[in-house]
Amino acid sequence: MASAIFYFAIATITAYANHLAVNANQKSRSIMAWISVLIPATFAGIRYGIGTDYFVTYKPYFNYLAGIGQLELNRRDNLEIGYYLLNELVIKLHGNFQMVLFLSSVITFIVFRKAILVYKDRLHVGLATFVLMLLYYQTSLNIVRQMIAAPIILYAFHFIEEKNPKKFTFWVIVATLFHTTAIVALPFYIFINYFIQKKSGLFISTVYLILILAVFNFDKFATIVNYIDSSGYYVSYFRKVSSFKLSIGLLIRTVPYIIAVFLMRFRIRGDKTMQLYLHSFLLGNIVRLIVYMTQFDADRIALYFLVPQVIFIPYLTKYYKRSWGEFIASTLLVTFVVIIWYFDFIYMGRTATIPYVTVFGGQ
C-alpha cells in the first residue's frame, strides 16, 4: 500500500506542477514546467529492479555497451539506434545506468508535455498530466524505449488534424528510432483522412467491422511480420495462444468510455479533434482484442492508439460539461482512470513496479 500511495502522490504533485506551469505568473512557469518533468524522471532514475525489463534487457544492454558485462544467449545487442546513442552518450560522459533511466524519462515527459500543450486552451493541463501519470508512468518504468516512442507518436497526431503528412511522417520516423513498432502509426493518417472523415456512419461501421474480423484472424499477419523482421523478435507478438474470452479487464477498460461517449455523442459529432482521438481509441481497443488471444506483449501495438487517452479524457471533461449527463460522463471518466490504475498496477501488479525500490536500498 505504501508504494500505491507513493505513485499516487507522484502523479498528483506532478499534475499540480504542470497545472501551475500553465497558469502561474511568467517567472514561475518555466520552473514549474521543469519540476513537472524532473519529479517523475528523478524517481525513474533512482529505481532499482523496477519493471520486468530492468534486469532482462536494459541493465545488461548498458553493461554490454560499457564493456563490463556480456549479454545472455538470445538477448538482443542491436536495440534501436536512438536508445543505443543515448546509452553511448551516457557512457562517454562516464555516467551509469541510472543516468540512462533518468534521461530516458526526461525525454518521455518533455515530449508528453509538448503533446499536451498543443491543446492547452481546450483541456485541463493538470488533469491531462494526472491521467498520464496514473495510466502510463509505471508503464514507462518497464517498457522504456516504447514509452519514449509513444509520446512522440501522440505529438505527431495533431499533424493529422492539420493535414500535414510530411510532419506526421517525420515524427513517426523519429519515434521508430526508439522502438520499431512505432511504424504501425504511419497508416493512421490515411485511415483518418481517407476512410473516416466526411464518411457516412454506415461506411465507418463497415470499416471497423472489417478491422475486427482482421483482428480475429491476426495470426495470419505473422508471416508478413516475419518477412519484414528477419530476426523474428517481433513476430512473437502475433502468435495466437488462445481463443477470445470476455473478461473483467476488458469490461473495465471499455464500458466507462462507451457510456461517456454515448452521453456526449452529439457534441463529439461536430468536433474534429475529439473524432480524431476517439477513432484512435477505438482502433487501439480493436487491436487490444489481440491481447486476449495472444502473448501480453501484443498490447504494445495498441499502445500508440491508446495513449491519446491523455488528451481525450481531459478534453472531454473541460469542453463538454454543459449538462448533467455530460457532467456525469466526465466524472465517470476521471473515476475510471483511478480505478483502472489501481486494478492494473496495484491489484494485478502489471509491469512489476510494486513495491518501489531505490538504488539506495529503500522502498
Q: What is the pLDDT of residues 331-347, one digit of tens each?
A: 777 888 898 898 888 88
Phi then psi dihedrals of residue 47, to 5 deg: -70, 160
CA 53, 55, 60, 62: dihedral to nearest 10 degrees?
A: 70
- Distance separating alpha carbons of residues 116 and 123, to the nearest angstrom: 9
Mean pLDDT, residues 147-155 taken together: 95
Mean pLDDT, residues 70-74 taken together: 56
Q: What is the pLDDT of residues 124-135, one digit of tens each?
A: 899 999 999 999
| pLDDT for position 316 | 75
Q: In this structure, how many other beta carbons lie within 10 angstroms of the beta carbon of residue 56? A: 12
* DSSP-H helix ranges across 220-271: 222-228, 248-263, 265-269
- CA 247-311-202 angle, to 5 degrees, is 65
Q: State the residue range of the domain holding 168.
A: 2-352
Between 121 and 75, whose confidence is greater? 121
- Distance separating alpha carbons of residues 301 and 237, to the nearest angstrom: 8
Residue 11 covered by a domain: yes
All residues at 6 or more sequence positions from 8 whose CB lies less than 8 Å from its CB, including other chains: 134
- Distance separating alpha carbons of residues 220 and 216, to the nearest angstrom: 10
Q: How confident is the model at residue 61 (pLDDT cuts 50, 70, 90)?
A: confident
CB 211 within 8 A of CB 195: no
The structure's pTM equals: 0.85
C-alpha cell read off for 90: 551516457
CA 98, 356, 358, 56: dihedral to nearest 10 degrees?
A: -50
Q: What is the pLDDT of residues 237-275, one digit of tens each?
A: 555 545 555 556 666 666 666 666 666 666 666 777 777
C-alpha cell read off for 250: 476488458
Residue 359 covered by a domain: no
- Distance separating alpha carbons of residues 297 and 230, to the nearest angstrom: 19
- Distance separating alpha carbons of residues 320 and 278, to the nearest angstrom: 14
Domain count, the chain: 1
Cell 545472455, residue?
72
- DSSP assignment of 88-111, as one string? HHHHHTT--HHHHHHHHHHHHHHH
Q: Which among 114, 145, 153, 170 has a CA at the least distance from the CA of 276?
A: 153
- Distance separating alpha carbons of residues 24 and 263, to the nearest angstrom: 34
Q: How confident is the model at residue 154 (pLDDT cuts 50, 70, 90)?
A: very high
Q: In this structure, how many other beta carbons lie within 10 angstroms of the beta carbon of residue 360? A: 7
Cell 504533485, residue?
13
C-alpha cell read off for 222: 505473422
Greatest alpha-carbon pair distance for the chain in Å reads: 62
- Among 1-10, 45-54, 65-74, name the one with the lowest average pLDDT: 65-74
Q: What is the pLDDT of residues 81-96, one digit of tens each?
A: 999 999 999 999 999 9
Dihedral sign for Cα atoms in the order 183, 333, 201, 277: negative
Residue 300 covered by a domain: yes
Cell 522504456, residue?
144
Q: What is the pLDDT of residues 186-237, one digit of tens each?
A: 988 888 877 766 666 667 777 767 777 766 666 666 555 555 555 555 555 5
Residue 361 covered by a domain: no
- Distance separating alpha carbons of residues 156 and 154, to the nearest angstrom: 5
C-alpha cell read off for 159: 499533424
- Distance separating alpha carbons of residues 165 and 345, to the nearest angstrom: 36
| pLDDT for position 73 | 44
Q: Which among 34, 247, 40 has a CA at the least distance from the CA of 132?
A: 40
Q: What's the start-to-end Cα distance of the chain, in Å? A: 11
Residue 357 covered by a domain: no
Cis peptide before 355 (omega within 30 of 0): yes
Q: What is the pLDDT of residues 292-343, one digit of tens each?
A: 655 445 677 888 988 988 988 888 776 555 666 666 767 777 888 898 898 8
Residue 183 covered by a domain: yes
